[in-house]
Structures are given as C-alpha cells and as structure tokens.
Structure 1
Amino acid sequence: MQEIITPSPPYAGLDAYFRRHQVTRLLLVCGSSMQQLPLYRYFSELENRCGIRVTPFSAFHPNPEWHSVQLGAALCTAHGCNGITAVGGGSAIDVAKCIWLEAGKPSTPLLAIPTTAGSGSEATSFAVVYKDGVKQSRSGCLPSGVLLDPELLRTLPEYQRKATLLDALCHGIESRWSVHATGESRGYAVQAIRQVLEHAQAYLANRDTGNAGMLHAANLAGRAINLARTTAAHAMSYQLTAHCGIAHGHAAGLCLAAVFDELVDRSHQPEAPPALSAALEDIADAMGCPDPPSASEAFRSFLAWLQLPVPAVGPDVTPEALAATVNPERLANTPVTLDETTLCRLYRSILSQISH
C-alpha cells in the first residue's frame, strides 16, 4: 500500500518517512529547477539536521535515455544509498524508478514527489525510458511513498500547466474505456475526470485550491492507468510529440479527440462490445454531459478553450509515416480494433485540424 505523506510545514512527514525506513544515505533524483523549489532547503539541510547524506543526480533529460539510468544506478551503488527520492515530473520519477530497479533492493524506500500535476507517474508501477531511441517500458516499480505538495506547482509555466492537465484528463478517460478496466480503476477514472474539469480554471489561474485539486486528480488518474493502462490515444500521441515538438499531454489531447469521435461512432455498430457503451456513458456522466456524442464534442470544446499553440508540422509528417510506428500493445487496450487504415484516417484528421 502506497503511503501518502502530507506536506505540512516544515515537512515533518518526510522526516518521519526517512526515520521509519532507516534511511542514512539518499539518492535524490531531481531536475535542474530543484533550487527554485521550497524543498531545496529541506534537502540541503537534511544531513546536518538528521544525519542523512544526500547525493543529488540530475544527469537526465525529458524522454530519458537508458544511459542516464545506468549513471544513476552506478552513483547510487558507489555512495551506498539505501533510499531513493525523485523530485520532478514524469521523467525524474521514471528515472528514479528505473534506478531503483537496477540498484535498489526490495527494502529500499522509493519516494516520489511530483512537481507537475499530469503524468501520475508517482501512482504507477511502470516507467518509460529510451534505449537507442526506442521506448522501453519497465514494470514492478511502484513508489512506496508519495508527497503531494501543491506549493511545488506554483512555478509551472502556462503551457506546461495546460499540457499536464490534458495528460491527467486523457489518463482518466482512456483508463475508463480500456479493455482492462476494473471496478477499482473505473472508480478512480470517474473521480479523476470530474476533478480535472472541476479544478481546471483555478489550476490554470495558479490558485492554491486549483493546484491542490489538480495534483489529487492527476494522482487518481495515475492509479486508474496503473490498473487499466492507456489506449490508442496515448499510443498515437508519442509520434506527434516526436515529430511536431509539442508536449506529451498536448499530443495526447489531440489524439484523444479523434479517438473519442471514433469510439462514439463505432459504439452504434452491431459488433461493438457492450462494455464500450457503458464506458462512454460513464465518461459522459463524469463530464456533466447528457450522452457520449455530447461528451466528445465537449472534449473538443475544452481543447479549443485551452488555446494551445499550433504545432509545427513538417512536410515529412504524413499520416502513413505516423501510423506505421504506433505501438500495437497500447492499441490492443482499446475496445475496438484500429487497423493501419483507420489510424491513417485519424492522423489525417488530426493533421488537417492543426495545420490550419
């Protein structure tokens, strides 16, 4: 069971967590912006105050490479670290998870402290890392503890707020219609969808209530995808991120809009699985819409309301090229079959809309 640590000043819950797990040497996986966060002082003073030696590790980038994991694991071993903590977005947390798999032990506490409200990586047991440019998924690495501190979201840039918000919303929607949805994941998904939409305005305005609400919503969405996994929209989004230079959540939102329309249309066909209609009805209800077509339209309206920047689409970015490299495993989680011809059609629709 994952421990949720409260952020009450001056982070007394963190002290208690480290004492409980008898941490004496800590590997701190964090981005370059760590010095701007309220937590920087806490970790800077940890050795003098609690006798816990902190070894920072920041040699990684977004979409982290396996080489970074190897460097971090070697550092963890060389310094005899018996605890690992990640402070950052999905990349920092994924790197820490992979380092834990490589250099940690089952008893080594892995703590995640997200500084964005979107990826939900702090609540999932899998991580993404790239090896020779190919995306790899690692499993079995659920953090033992998580600190949800809305203060850490105060410095998020506007575009990152919008993109991470979309990532959390897509996680909630996709996990609900995933073929692997369970009773538990459905509950998390519906709550996440409602809370993302409820707190969107306050979150984008950088209000305390919005930051706290969105952080909790992203965590719920992370719990949902941990059980049900993501589907076609996420499978398709990675190609847009790679070729159009947009944030992951932005790409996921664009792809989900197309997939949402497709699923609503296919749900009326005789061969559609009964679970699809039930899932779409739940999503519509969570979005405050009377029916699935209205929910699909509302999602597109939400995208328009966010006023996201128009991606740069080069001449070599074609529907055929994008469709040819979509991960078939993620596609298999989708409640209807999306063959390459369908993917090309969906990508063509997406590209036509963002090119004008």
Structure 2
Amino acid sequence: MKQVEYIGLNSLDCLWDLVDEMKVQRIFLVASKSAFKGSKFKEILNDLKKSKKIESVYIFSDFENNPKCEDVIEGVKLFKEGNWDAIISYGGGSTIDVAKLIKYFSCIKDDVHAELFPVQEVPHVAIPTTCGTGAEATHFAVMYCNGEKYSIESGDILPEYVVIDPRVLFTLPDRALASSIVDSLAQGIESYWSINSTDESRVYSMKCISLVMENYLKAFRERDIDSLSKLAKASNFSGKAINIAKTTAAHAMSYVLTSKYGIPHGQAVMILLPHVYEFNAQIKGEICDPRGKEYVEKVIRELNELLCVRSPEEAKAKLKDIMTSLNLETRLSEITSLKIDIQELASSVNLERLKNNPIRLDEAYIGAIYRCIT
C-alpha cells in the first residue's frame, strides 16, 4: 500500500478535502489530551462539524504514554461499539501506535469467516505532533503487557494517510521536543548500521541524520519554523528507515529504562546510544552483518562523516553533547534515586531483539554498557 502524504506548513487544512475524499461522516479520534487541547486541529474538527462536513467525532484518549495492552483492548471495544468510518490519530508515537492497534484488532481479516462476517475497511489518518518516532511511516506498533514490550507487525497497520504540519511543534514542551529530536536521530543512526539496511533505507537514514544535525539547536532554542519543518521531515525519514531496517541494540536496551524508571523513550535510547556506538565501532566479538567486517567499518566511517566527526570517540562525545545542549540528562543517577541493579537490567533485555545489531552483544557486554550509564 502506498501512503498518501500531506507534509508542510498548514497541511492540517487538507482535512477539509480529505474527509470528502474518504467519504467519512463518523470519526473515531485517538488523541493525546495534552496535544489536542486548544490545538488548531481541534478548531478544524469543530468547524467541520459546524459545516456538516462530518457528523460526529468520538475522542479516545484513555491510554498511557507507553500504552498497555489493556488500553488497546478498551479502545477496540469502544471502536466496535460504534459505527465509525474512519480513525484519526493525533499525538506522538504512542498515540499513533494505539490507533494502529485499534484498527488492526478491530478490522483483522479472517479468511474463514470473510463471507459471513465481512470486515469493514476504515482508513487511518495519522497526524504526528512530535518529531521523533516516525510511527506514521511504519507497519508495526508497540504495546506493553505486564511490563514487557510487544511489537505487532503487519502491512495492514500502516496508516493510509499522513498529515505532517510543523505548526503543531510550536507548543511542544521543551523536554518532549528534546526527547523527540534524539529519538529521530537514534533511529537514523541505528537503521543505518542495522544488518537489515538496504540502499533505500540508508538514503532515508542519511536524510534524517543530516536534517537533525543541521536543525536541532535552532529548532529547540528558537522554535524556528523552518527548522521545525525540517525536523518533522527528519522524523518521517527515520520512520521510513526503520520500517525497512528496524532498530538495533540501543532501542532494545532502552525499553527497561522506560518501564522501570519512567524515562521518556527518546531520552532512554539516546542515553545508551553513545556507548553502543563505541561498542559497534570497536568491532569486538562476532560480526552479525553478513556483509562482513569491512562493510561494518565502512558504515561507521560514513556515520562519522554524517555526524561531522573524525572518529568513533568524537562521535560518542558529540552524541553526549547533543543531549546536554537539549537539557537532557545522560546518566541514570541524574534521573532516578532508585537502586540500579546492573544484572537485573542486563538480564531483562530480550536477546532476540538484539539480532539486528551489526556486532553481537552478550550479557557481559550489555552489563558493561549499562554500567557506563549509571
């Protein structure tokens, strides 16, 4: 399926034409409360109702920032109870993931009963309000069950329409913007060295990294609209990159930091990334990428160039400096007073999710990396 994209300043206004194109009247809106309240998007929906373009909107926002399976189950129940003909998601990656999962589990195809119980196809319009996850561009979605991360992957999960308007980033709190920026950058880097990378995915990765590096400071400090627009595009490119290549060790190791210490996802990933970068650059242990050692070395050199550094050591320092410039802590001890059990953290990582990393990490290396961030 090819997505239809509306990207750029004031692209939210396309909703007037989009509701006509989709021929929808009843909208199931999955929205972040903080993003939706007082937003331009809320005004547009109200105007659409007043003009009789749409009949009704149901707002579902009863879910956590890192959604639990119970949140998704409740959303599916509410969606199935109504006769909704479209899903719109308005929020960050978690919001878009919840909407993806609600559609997937509500409209799941069953070939055995397809003739007796035909599934109603409903379009999903994803409107990201952060510049980090690129969730609008991926065919997978994440939820947590009993504290453990689960990822659902299906071609049916990819939203049919994407609307990316940098205006929504103006009111994003500093910390949320900062975490989004580093999440996008991490996805660009990880997808570049992933063993699943392709020529196409690396082009997306390069575009993401370059746009972030050129615009993150001005966007963060000044809320410059041109810089914000480029960060929004970078995030979308990062989503397209991981949609092909997937993420690697820094992401796999970050989930426990979010679930245990409540660290925002992007920050949790970026705390780990400088140390994973150093590990991968040293090329210790088994090489997992079938393209071999020389290829991995070449990838690291290319990443150094994209980050405008001359060595992996400089890259590690540069990534930490980016965190500091965005007012994000770089060590667990700066964030939590809870006891940090390295063994517990290391043993919690699902080794299956580390397989995309170019160099194999065993539990000892994982523990060493966690020790570096305490």
- Greater CA drift, 47-56 or 269-278: 269-278
Q: Deviations over 1:152-183 (max 9, x none)?
A: 11111111111111100000000000000011
Report the more deviating stretch, 176-185 or 45-54.
45-54
- 1:306 positional shift: 2.8
1:23-34 matches, within 5 Å, as 23-33=24-34, 34=36
Bigger shift: residues 91-100 or 265-274: 265-274
Question: Is the 8 Å Cα contact of residues 287 and 295 (structure 1) preserved in structure 2?
Answer: yes
2:296 aligns with one of 276, 291, 295: 276
Q: Is residue 98 from structure 1 mapped to residue 101 from structure 2 by the alignment?
A: yes
Shift of 1:126: 0.5
Deviation at 1:77, TM superposition (A): 2.0
Query: C-alpha separation between the residues in 1 aligned to 2:72 and 2:287?
Result: 48
Task: State the AA in 2 paired with 1:83.
Answer: A
Q: C-alpha offsets along residues 1-30 of structure 1, whole Å, 9 cap, x if unaligned?
A: 111114665844212222222212110000
**Cα offset for 1:291?**
4.0
Name the residue aligned to 2:335: 311
- The residue matched to 2:206 in structure 1 has which SS? helix
Corresponding residue number in structure 2 for 1:354: none
Cα distance, 1:346 vs structure 2: 0.9
Structure 2 partner of 1:60: 63
Partner of 2:196: 180
Q: Please state if 1:342 is matched with 2:362.
A: no
Aligned length: 350
| Identity across the alignment (%) | 33
Counterparts of 1:129 and 1:242, CA distance in 2? 11
Counterpart contact for 1:46–1:53, Cα < 8 Å: no
Cα deviation per residue 1:27-56 (whole Å; 9 max; x = unaligned)? 000021212211111112323320342111
Question: What's 2:305 paired with?
Answer: 285
- Specify the code of the residue in structure 2 equivalent to 1:319: I
Residue segments in structure 2 that go unaligned for 5+ positions in a row? 108-118
Q: Distance in 1 between matches of 2:262 and 2:105?
A: 31
- Superposed counterparts of 1:324-335, under 5 Å: 324-335=347-358
Unaligned runs of 5+ in 1: 352-356
State the distance in 1 between where 2:185 and 2:5 align. Answer: 22
C-alpha deviations, 1:308-337, integer Å up to 9, x for none?
24211422x211110001122221100111
Q: What amino acid does structure 2 have at the position aligned with 1:330?
A: R
Change (3 A) 1:207 1:8: closer
Cα contact 2:67–2:94 (8 A) shared by 1: yes
Correspondence 1:61-210 to 2 at 5 A = 61-104=64-107, 107-140=121-154, 141-205=157-221, 206-210=223-227
Instruction: Work out whether residues 93 and 121 of structure 1, in 8 Å CA contact, stay in contact via their aligned partners in 2.
Output: yes
- Residue number in structure 2 paired with 1:241: 258
TM-score by length of 2: 0.88
Q: Matched residues in 1 for 2:11 and 2:295: separation?
A: 47
Which segment is superposed worse, 292-301 or 216-225? 292-301
Q: Name the Cα RMSD after superposition.
A: 2.0
Counterpart of 2:38?
Answer: 36
